[in-house]
A and B are shown apart, each in its own frame.
Chain A
């Protein structure tokens, strides 16, 4: 059974701090990794994708991938109250045609 594990949280950080969200996955052969943000009652929104080991930065977001450790993380710098949401880690299902395996998500709360 292929799995993606995330700490469910809630993770609470003060405004302006760095929020660090972590994810591990079980299938060593996975190639594509995604972070989705989901506000309560809304649809998941893709915020980052990463395919190679190392860091990928986009604005205040940095995704980090370590395939040897089967670990993906998302850093949010200068966290804002509007970043408060559930963050979903997703990994491609190797051998499929693009379907994803999701974690349960980490709920982030940014306090003003």
Chain B
């Protein structure tokens, strides 16, 4: 079984630019979560999809972040325009249930300069 795939693995962009992160969950996993870890801080929840629907986006920091999950398959997380404080590692995770036993992707390290 293929795991959760994220790309790019690294992205360096200038402040004000746009970046789109992609996550391909494990096939058949309806639940897809985005998390972020800012340096020195804990991993924090951003949002949760069930199939193509946003179930909970309470962790999204502001309206510069836009997440989509086309057809309930892969998901994208767009940051526009990027700010310095958006730097961190963005993790995607998927699961069949909502009990928290996720499989995480390897993450995208975003650096905004």
Contacts and interface: CB of A to CB of B under 8 A. Distances in A.
B105 interface: yes
Contacts of A97: 31, 48, 50, 55-56, 98
Interface in B34-67: 35, 41-45, 48, 50, 55-56, 58-59
A43 B42 contact: no
A103 B91 contact: no
Contact of A105 (B42, B58, B102): B42
Interface in B94-113: 95, 97-107
Contacts of B58: 96
Contacts of A49: 99-101
Interface residues of A, number: 24
A98 interface: yes
A1 to B, nearest CB: 12
Given A93-B45, A97-B50, A98-B95, A45 B56 contact: no
Contact of A98 (B31, B42, B105): B31
A22 B4 CA distance: 29
A90 interface: yes
Given A97-B31, A97-B50, A104-B41, 7 more contacts: A32-B100, A44-B91, A93-B45, A96-B48, A102-B35, A102-B43, A104-B42
B45 A99 contact: yes
Contacts of A63: none
